[in-house]
Amino acid sequence: MKALIAVLGAVISLAGTAAPVFAADAGQLALGKEKFDYWCDTCHAPDPREAGRYLPGTASLNAKYNGSRPGALVDRTDLLPPYVELVIRKGMEGMPFFRKTEISDAEMKAIAAYLSRNTRQ
C-alpha cells in the first residue's frame, strides 16, 4: 500500500501549471467542501497553531514535506483524485481508512475533486 501511494505521489509531482487536471462542476465541489469540512478539516485544516488544537494531519504533513508542499490539504496544488481516494479508503500511517457508511463513493469523489481543484497540468 505504501509503495502504491509512493508511486501515485511521484505521478502527482509531474503536475504543472496549465489547465486544471480535473474538471468538476460547482455542485460536486460544494459537496466536496462540505464533506471535507465535516470529515477531514478537524485534522487537516490550515495553520495547526492558529486553532490552538494541534491539527495533527496538517502538522504531520508539514513535518513530512518540510516546506516543499503545504501541510494543509486545501492549499495543495498537486493532488490528483485517485491519490485522495486511495488515502480515504486505505488510510495513511496513523490516519485510519473510511468506510462507505461514513464517506460514500460519491462523497469520496467529491472530496477528491475539491482537493484537486487547484491542480494544473
Partner 1 sequence: MPIKLPPGISAAAFAEAVKEFQGAVGADWVFTSEDDLDTYRDAYSISWGHDDEYLASAAVAPDTVEQVQAVVRIANKYKIPLYAISTGKNLTYGGSAPTYSGSVVVDLKRMKRVLKVDDKRNFALVEPGCSYYDLYQHIKDRGLKVWIDCPDPGWGSPIGNALDHGVGYTASPFRDHWGSHCGMEVVLPNGEIMRTGMGASPTSDTWQDYKYGVGPHVDGLFAQGNFGIVTKMGFWLFPQPESWMTGTVHVPKYSDYSALVDHCNYLEDAHLATGQTMYGSNLGGPGVIATPEYRALMANGWPTIEQLDAYAAQRKVPAWRAKLQFYGPEKAVRASWAYAQRRISAAIPGATFTDIEFATLPLSPAQEKTHHLVNFGIPNMAIFQIVARPPAGPNNANPYDGHTDFFAVVSRSGSEVFRAMKAVYDVQKELKIDPITATPFSSPVTWHHKVFFMAAGGVGNQRGDAEHNRRMRALYAAYIEKMAAAGFPAYRTNPGAQDLLVKQFSFNNNALLKFQEALKDAVDPNGIMSPGRYGLWPKQLRGKKA
Residues in contact with partner 1 by CB under 8 A are: 1-2, 38, 42-43, 50-57, 59-60, 62-64, 89-91, 93-102
Q: Please state the closest distance from residue 66 (CB atom) to partner 1, in A.
A: 10
Q: Is 17 helix (H, G, I), strand (E, B) or coil?
A: strand
Q: Please state the closest distance from residue 92 (CB atom) to partner 1, in A.
A: 9
Q: Which is nearer to partner 1, 17 or 101 (CB)?
A: 101
The answer to whether the Cα torsion of 33, 79, 46, 60 is positive or negative is: positive
Q: Which is nearer to partner 1, 25 or 50 (CB)?
A: 50
Q: Which is nearer to partner 1, 82 or 91 (CB)?
A: 91
Alpha-carbon distance of 11 to 48, in angstroms, equals 27
Q: Please state the closest distance from residue 19 (CB atom) to partner 1, in A.
A: 31
Tell me if 45 sits within 8 A of 83, measured CB to CB: no
Q: Which is nearer to partner 1, 20 or 47 (CB)?
A: 47
Tell me if 15 sits within 8 A of 117, measured CB to CB: no
Tell me if 49 sits within 8 A of 58, measured CB to CB: no
